[in-house]
Every structure is written in C-alpha cells, then in structure tokens.
Amino acid sequence: MTLFEKSVAGRSAFSFGFEEDRAVAERYIPEFARAAVKSLPQVAELDLVRHFTNLATMNYSVDTGFYPLGSCTMKYNPKINERMAADPRLTARHPLDDAAGNQGILQMEFELKESLQEITGMDDFTLQPACGAHGELTGMLIIHAYMRDHDAKRTKVLIPDSAHGTNPASASMAGFQVVTVPSNERGGVDMDALDKLMDDTVAAIMLTNPNTVGLFEENITRIAELVHARGGLLYYDGANLNALMGLIRPGDLGFDVVHLNLHKTFATPHGGGGPGAAPVGVKKFLADYLPIPVVVCRGGQYALDENRPHTIGRMSGFYGNTAVLARAYVYIKMMGRDGLLATSRAAVINANYVKALLSPYFPPAYDRPVMHETVLSAKGYDKYGVTLLDIAKRLMDYGYHPPTIYFPHFPPYAEEVMMVEPTESESKETMDSFCDALIKISQEAKENPDLLLSAPHDTVVTRVNETYAARHLITSHRDKKGT
C-alpha cells in the first residue's frame, strides 16, 4: 500500500510554528497561486516512520547481503564515510558563498583531485559529473570540443561491442556517430577490424579496461599506438578500475580521458540508484576544455576557477556531488597507497577464486585468468528447461542477490552468461557459501527444475510481471485513482 493510500485527512507528521496564511497568496501572488494540492498524503509521524522503515527492510542491500554484481562493484560502504559526509560544516554550506568561507571543502576537493590524478596517471580532473553516464558525456564533450578546434571532420567514435550501453548513448549524446568494433575470439578488441575502422573521421575510441568480461585488453599498447598515430584519442571508462589500483594507470597506458565511478571503486553507497559521482580526468592538452568551475589552489588559497575560455561549459548547476566526493575522499585517505593496492589485489584474487570454484558447473568462455570479475556460462542448462534467469531468481531464495545476467551482449556471450564480481569486501566464507548455493542450484536444475522456474519463493513478492506494467503504465498515484 502506498503512502497515498494510507492518507487520512487531517493528519500530519510535522508542524511548523505557522499555519497557512491564505492572505499571503491573495496579497502577493494574486493570479498565479494554484489551488491547494489536495492529493498529497496526510499521515502521522509514526505512520510515516513505519511506512519507510518497512520499505527499507524489503530491499536487499550490501549491509544485509552479498551482491556479486559484475561491473557494478558493490563493495562495502564504510560508516565513517557517512559520518564525515553528514558534517554540517559540509551539508549546510551554500555553494555560492565566498570561497573564503569554504576553504575546508575546497581543500578536500583539491586533495581528492590530486589523489585521483595520481591513481589514474592523468593531469587534471573535474569533479562535477553526477554519475558514470554523466562523466562519459562530459568526457566525450571534451573530445568533441577539442576536435571541433583541431580536426572537425572527426565525427565518429569507436566502441567495442562488449561495452556498457552508456558508452554509445553518451557518445551519441555528445554529438558523435557511433561505430561498433567487434571483439576477437579472446574477448579483446579485434585488431583487424580496428585497423579498418580507424580512419581520419574517428575522433576517439571508448574502452573499458579490464573490459566487461573482466579481461584485461591484451593489445592495449598496440591499440593506443594505432589510434594515436591516426589522430584519434582514447577514452577510458573507469567502471572497472577496482582491479587496477596501484597496478596499472590508464594514463600510463595512453588514455587521454578517463571517468571514474566513485560509487564503484571508491566505496560510496549506491543508494538504490544514485547519487553517485564520476570525476573526469584528462591529459594536459585537454585540461582547458574541462567544465567550469575547476577547483584550484593559488598561493595557499583554494578557489573555484570559472575563467577558462575553452571550457565546454557547465555540466550542472553547481560543482558536482560534494557530499559523495567527501565519502570517496575519506575512503582514499584511509586506504592510502598500500591500501588501494591491497584492494585491487584482493578484488582480483577473489574473482579468480570464484571462477575456480564455479568453473566445473558454469564454464567460463575463455579459460584465462580474469581480473576483478568473471563471466560464466549457464548455456547447458536449457536442456533441463531452465534459463539463466531462473537460476538467478533461485539464488534469491538462498539469500543472495543474483549476479549480472545477460550482459555483456556480444558473442560468445550473447546468451545465458552471468558476470560475477565479488569485490575485495567479501570474505572467503561468503564466496564459498555463494558458490555452494549456485552449485546446489545447478543440481536442482537437473532434479527439480520447477523449483527454479517458480523461484523466488521466499521474497516479499514473486516474479513481477513486466508486461503488465508496460501495458497498464501506472506510474503515479494519480494513474491509480484513474483521475
């Protein structure tokens, strides 16, 4: 039951020291005042608390269980980050107040920028983008602006078929024409295809590395040389940076632009779908194009620099998701140089361990060591009449969130693959139990496929009818009322 349906006229969960002053609207806003919004719910404070507290318990979450979501990096969100980010000296600051009054926040942002530069090997950063896709758009707009100034005929962007959907969408939104590059039989970029496609109309190639199958791009050096030699730029999608910290830096590999998902690699919470934050780093020759403002330090004073004539402009109203940046900042400060390396090391070991445990039941497409995640196939199970979706849903009954399924989309992964990413946060016992559950389910598939087909059983709702939702399109209380 929604909050709207729990409404009883006359109730209220909050009172202010004033009542509605009807005369105000009549006196000051004679003709523009709307009628009262009669349809907002009216509930007492306890009703409100119970409503949302019970909703919260209906969610799976990192704090209650394991999310083996490939490419999503659902790691632990340290509680100290939340405490720091709730500091009123940050939350209660107005973004347009004098820089002199915000030196603490600006210092934090500047130090974060410097850390990200060091971690990625890039020369400058904007902290403004609100999430990964926003970061991609920012990065692609920078490349677009650069090419407009230097080589305007470059209007295409190359994107591997293994890429996350945001890559082509972002490139397209930045005004580029998207050209898909096929993968080779080892899961990397097909070099011959690249050679053919990489001409003087191509502005850049967008790569995720390790790619979305958890494999490092073996030919990255050759790709970088080829693209650069033919006048293109390299864009690095940082979705999978969790595997690389302290090991490899995208900047050193030849990437010109990177975006990072702070809510993946740097432990800020996902919040059921944001807010995230996705700083974008660039090599020096692109720094002038960064969106304004940019945090700078001049003579020991921190400031927001808006005077950047080549800037692509603004990506949002203010300077980015400061409270999210703060969490990532605290995480990086606490991990330090060795901690970040230990993180990637543990993430890689964990992924290979899960792969080793599950391979006999769900074979990997390529038998190579993976980095921070592994793609496994459930193709053989169709003979029992069950799909990967059924296996995934059944995992919920065992208390696990399913892995990422049916992604990536390219051959040989086009069907029935799951992508498992344990992250460094998970203990050996958790991984062991999770793998045990999957192995048990693989048995159940043979012996009692109905158990999978009707799964999940132990959740607050069973499988939800997506067609019904699309057909009826009830997306608000007003739709329900039919008014």
Between residues 62 and 292, which has the closer beta carbon with respect to its own copies? 62
Which of 62, 197, 226, 437 is close enough to bind another protein by CB under 8 A?
A: 62
Q: What does the alpha-carbon distance between residue 459 and residue 212 come to, in Å, rounded to a whole number?
A: 30
Tokens of 140: 């692609």
User: Interface with its own copies includes 2 (CB under 8 A)?
Assistant: no
Angle between helices 166-173 and 132-150 (to 10 degrees): 40
User: Interface with its own copies includes 109 (CB under 8 A)?
Assistant: no
Residue 137 · residue 174 · CB < 8 Å: yes
For 458, phi then psi, to 5°, come to -100, 20
Query: Would you give the binding string for another protein spanning residues 332-351, x where CB under 8 A is met?
Result: xxxxxxxxxxxx-xx-xxx-
Q: What does the alpha-carbon distance between residue 218 and residue 208 come to, in Å, rounded to a whole number?
A: 12
Closest CA to 274 of 417, 94, 131: 131
Stretch that binds another protein, among 168-176, 225-233, 280-288, 440-448 (CB under 8 A): 168-176
Residue type, 186: R
User: Interface with another protein includes 436 (CB under 8 A)?
Assistant: no
In terms of Cβ atoms closer than 10 Å to its own Cβ (0-12, 13-18, 19+), residue 16 is: exposed
Tokens of 71: 């490419």
Stretch that binds another protein, among 93-101, 226-234, 379-387, 442-450 (CB under 8 A): 93-101
* Cβ 5 to another protein shortest distance, Å: 10
For 341, phi then psi, to 5°, come to -65, -45
User: Interface with its own copies includes 17 (CB under 8 A)?
Assistant: no
By CB under 8 A, the residues from 242 to 271 that bind another protein are: 245-249, 252-253, 263, 267, 269-271
User: Interface with its own copies includes 459 (CB under 8 A)?
Assistant: no
Residue 285 · residue 234 · CB < 8 Å: no
Torsion of CA 464, 470, 475, 477, to 10 degrees: -70
User: Interface with its own copies includes 76 (CB under 8 A)?
Assistant: yes
Between residues 283 and 393, which has the closer beta carbon with respect to another protein? 393
User: Interface with another protein includes 201 (CB under 8 A)?
Assistant: no
Which of 2, 12, 39, 54 is close enough to bind its own copies by CB under 8 A?
A: 54
User: Interface with another protein includes 134 (CB under 8 A)?
Assistant: yes
Residue 66 · residue 426 · CB < 8 Å: yes
Residues 6+ apart with CB under 8 A from 453: 385, 386, 390
Which of 217, 416, 426, 444 is close enough to bind its own copies by CB under 8 A?
A: 426
441 binds, among its own copies, another protein, none (CB under 5 to 8 A by kind): none
Torsion of CA 329, 334, 339, 340, to 10 degrees: 0
CA separation, residue 279 to residues 193, 218, 232, 240, 276 (Å): 31, 26, 22, 14, 10
Kind of pairing between the strands at 233-237 and 257-259: parallel
Stretch that binds its own copies, among 55-63, 98-106, 297-305, 317-325 (CB under 8 A): 55-63
Which of 45, 305, 382, 436 is close enough to bind its own copies by CB under 8 A?
A: 45
Between residues 336 and 380, which has the closer beta carbon with respect to another protein? 336
Which of 23, 35, 37, 46 is close enough to bind its own copies by CB under 8 A?
A: 46
Task: Give the count of residues interacting with its own copies (CB under 8 A).
Answer: 24
CA separation, residue 105 to residues 110, 235, 322 (Å): 9, 29, 8
User: Interface with another protein includes 199 (CB under 8 A)?
Assistant: no
User: Interface with its own copies includes 462 (CB under 8 A)?
Assistant: no
Task: Give the count of residues interacting with another protein (CB under 8 A).
Answer: 209
Instruction: Kindly list the residues in this chain that would bind its own copies in the complex (CB under 8 A).
Output: 6, 8, 11, 44-47, 49-50, 53-54, 57, 62-65, 76, 78-79, 425-429
